[in-house]
Amino acid sequence: MRIAILWKQMSGFAAATFAALRDLGTEVLLVHRSATADAPFNDDRLDLGIGAWAWTQQPGDAELAERVAAFDPHAVLVISWDVGVYRRLSRSLQGRTLRILCMDNAWLGTPKQWAGRLAAPWLIRPTYDAAFLPGDRQAAFARYLGFPDERILWGLNTCDHAALAKVAAARAGDLPERFLFTGRLVPEKGIDVLASAYATYCESSARPWPLTVCGTGPLASAFDGLANVELLGFVQPGEIGSVYARAGCLVMPSRFEPWGVAIHEATSAGLPVICTSACGASSRLVLDGFNGALVSAGEAAALAAALARIADPATDRATLGRHSTELALQFTPQRWAGYLTERVTWLRRHLGLDRG
């Protein structure tokens, strides 16, 4: 099987899933945007010998069409619909190859989404045959765009599960007393809420856990003056395992989070998770009281209480961590690769795209 992947910026979790696809014996053509300043991933380490084509300026229509035509894919994965050259190529392949829209847009009922829903018969359905998405909230939007359930693929976002599962195995249930946040330091991630909640928690605790913050962004100064806060800056995917090994609980206070791969990373590493219900992954990977705590977005007092709840010596964090590892098994790169190839085979047959 040959699958062309038309992506935006690479990331550690994307690299892990694409590598699993390659390891399954699938031929992969990977086209993606180069790294950007707010997430400076090392592209050379993430392309994994797949033969990727990284671009800074969007490639020309003819150049991209020529490369994809020479590869002759059975399916094309197209990340979102806002890269014009990808969208136009996908439309040109109608009836010749399976075109799968990869989207993490949750249905929020915004005017723009309603406009997209109304325009879908002319803009979306002639351009894509199926939708690949992370979870339930995206499925609602995909159905509104006209994708029936049999053309919806689940579990788009995963992480390098094998590497992080080694962290959990090495720890053997012994969790350090340290909170961890990893992500961009921007308003939608709830950085100001985290800083305020952590300050409140520290004031009320005789022996507060330290907090490690991984990421870059304009709100790094929110932690100025707070004791016991460690700012690590941006951490490359190959080094994130050592960060999770030092942590005892992930904190994700996002106001807006279509999914939240860091939650899967944390559960794979055997950590309890505190997150807001705004995180898409909370519906599949975090059960309050089973492997962590759920709080309302934007509520610093509620987040401070959850920090104290998890750090309480009476909390059985080892059991919470074991439960996290169980939930993490829903999504792995190997399962992603096997599921995708199975669904591509079925959909091609169902849509009459087999070449005999």
Phi, psi at residue 5, to the nearest 5°? Answer: -120, 115
Confidence tier at 56 by pLDDT (50, 70, 90):
confident
pLDDT at 69 over 90: yes
| Residues 202, 120 share a domain | no
pLDDT in tens, 190-247: 999 999 999 999 999 999 999 999 999 999 999 999 999 999 998 887 888 999 999 9
CATH at residue 9: 3.40.50.2000
* Together in a domain, 153 and 217: no
Task: Give the residue from 25, 37, 28, 41 showing the smallest Cα distance to 2.
Answer: 28
Confidence of residue 48 (pLDDT cuts 50, 70, 90): low
Residue-number span of the structural domain to which 237 is assigned: 161-328
- Give the residue, 49 or 241, on which the prediction is more confident: 241
What share of the chain in percent tops pLDDT 70?
Answer: 95
Say yes or no: 114 and 193 in one domain.
Answer: no
Q: How many domains does the chain have?
A: 2
Q: What is the pLDDT of residues 154-197, one digit of tens each?
A: 999 999 999 999 999 998 778 999 999 999 999 999 999 999 99
Give pTM, 2 decimals. Answer: 0.90
Asked if the structure places residue 183 within a domain, the reply is yes
Q: Is residue 59 part of a domain?
A: yes
User: Are residue 315 and residue 169 in the same domain, yes or no?
Assistant: yes
For residues 269 and 321, membership in a common domain is answered with yes
Q: Do residue 166 and residue 308 come from a single domain?
A: yes
Would you say 266 and 324 are in contact if contact means Cβ atoms under 8 Å apart? yes
- Are residues 102 and 165 part of one domain? no
End-to-end CA distance of the chain: 14
211 and 95, same domain (yes or no): no
Distance CA 70, CA 1 (A): 14
Residue 355 lies in a domain: no
Beta strands in 136-216 (DSSP E): 152-154, 179-182, 211-214
Question: Is residue 127 domain-shared with residue 200, that is, in the same domain?
Answer: no
Token pair of 317 as six digits: 């964090």
Pair 171, 142 in one domain = no
pLDDT-derived band at 37, boundaries 50, 70, 90 = low
Based on the fold, state whether residues 112 and 6 are members of the same structural domain: yes
Predicted pLDDT at 12: 76
Domain match, 109 and 146 both: yes
> Would residue 315 count as lying in a domain?
yes
Please report the DSSP string for 307-332 in residue order: HHHHHSTTS-HHHHHHHHHHHHTT--
Q: How many secondary structure helices (H) and strands (E) does the chain include?
A: 14, 13
Residue at 340 is within a domain: yes
Alpha helices in 252-316 (DSSP H): 261-268, 282-285, 300-311
Computed over every residue of the chain, the mean pLDDT equals 92
